[in-house]
Amino acid sequence: MTSGCDDDADKDGIPDAVDNCPLAANPSQIDTDKDGIGDNCDSDADGDGIPNGIDNCPLTANPDQADADHDGMGDACDTDGFCLVVAKNPDPAQCLNPKTVFEVVAAPRVKANTGDKVLLSVYANRQAVSLNYKWNVTSAPSGASDTVNNPTGAATCTSGYECAAQNEDKRPIFVPRHPGQYSLTVSADLQVPDTIEPQVMHAESTVTITVEGKDISSDGGCQFAQGRAGVGMILIGLGFGLSLLLRRRR
């Protein structure tokens, strides 16, 4: 015969009186932060003041939430080591590990409107090195023939792994004129042999840019024609005004 009161509400084999999560099954009774509330029902399991849902190390106290490689896993619990996820192209599969062969990541992966100026960037898994780059449009919407402005140049990679164009006035820029999806590929070559893998000096990466808006591929000619018409109207207006002035003087 059983008691009318159930002394194990969550059926985990631990009596409610001593269960640190009486309404959430947790037979292991794990309590990471030792606050008397089991991890299974503790909204802040590691006790660092950051709720589990937004804590990048939910079971390791790290109130500063430091994440040097931007992979979403806090430094305090990141067991994979440093592999930089580029903020402008946040794909963990393309993270940059400074201990592997020379690699690059093209950026930015963005949504843009037709006519927008998209500043292109290249990141490398090396610091304090110089490289030569070349950008190409490798796929584009049907009928599009857009190209990259200033597609080639030299860049120096900083401590943040971004490789800044040595001539800022010649930074690569992409201005899409058709709506749709473009793929841009950057090819990069180290200027001196690599210190880790000297035989690998070339790397490539592709980024996708999604474009919205109307097709403006023919706007250049219209704008030019409108500009010429505007100038013509200004000249006609000046001529008419001058003739009136001469008549008044007579």
Q: Tell me the pLDDT tens digit for each residue of 107-139.
A: 999 999 999 999 999 999 999 999 999 999 999
Q: What is the mean pLDDT of residues 48-62?
A: 94
pLDDT of residue 247 exceeding 60: no
Q: Establish if 7 belongs to a structural domain.
A: no
Separation between Cα atoms, residue 67 and residue 231, nearest integer Å: 57
User: How much is the pLDDT for 235?
Assistant: 38
Q: Mean pLDDT across the chain, nearest whole number? A: 87
User: How much is the pLDDT for 231?
Assistant: 40
Separation between Cα atoms, residue 81 and residue 73, nearest integer Å: 10
> Angle CA(212)–CA(168)–CA(116) in degrees, nearest 5?
10
Q: Establish if 129 belongs to a structural domain.
A: yes
The encoded tokens of residue 149 equal 């402005």
Q: What is the pLDDT of residues 168-182, one digit of tens each?
A: 999 999 999 999 999
Is residue 215 within 8 A of residue 178, CB to CB? The reply is yes
Let me know if 3 is exposed, middle or buried by CB neighbors in 10 A (0-12, 13-18, 19+): exposed
Q: Establish if 236 belongs to a structural domain.
A: no
Q: Establish if 48 belongs to a structural domain.
A: no
Q: What is the mean pLDDT of residues 197-224?
A: 86
| Phi and psi angles of residue 240, each rounded to the nearest 5 degrees, phi first | -65, -45
Q: What is the mean pLDDT of residues 91-115?
A: 96
Write out the residue range of the structural domain in which residue 162 sits.
Answer: 92-212
**For position 156, which CATH number holds?**
2.60.40.10
What's the pLDDT band for 73 if we cut at 50, 70, 90?
confident
- Number of domains, the chain: 1
Q: Please report the sign of the dihedral spanned by the C-alpha atoms of residue 66, residue 75, residue 96, residue 91.
A: negative
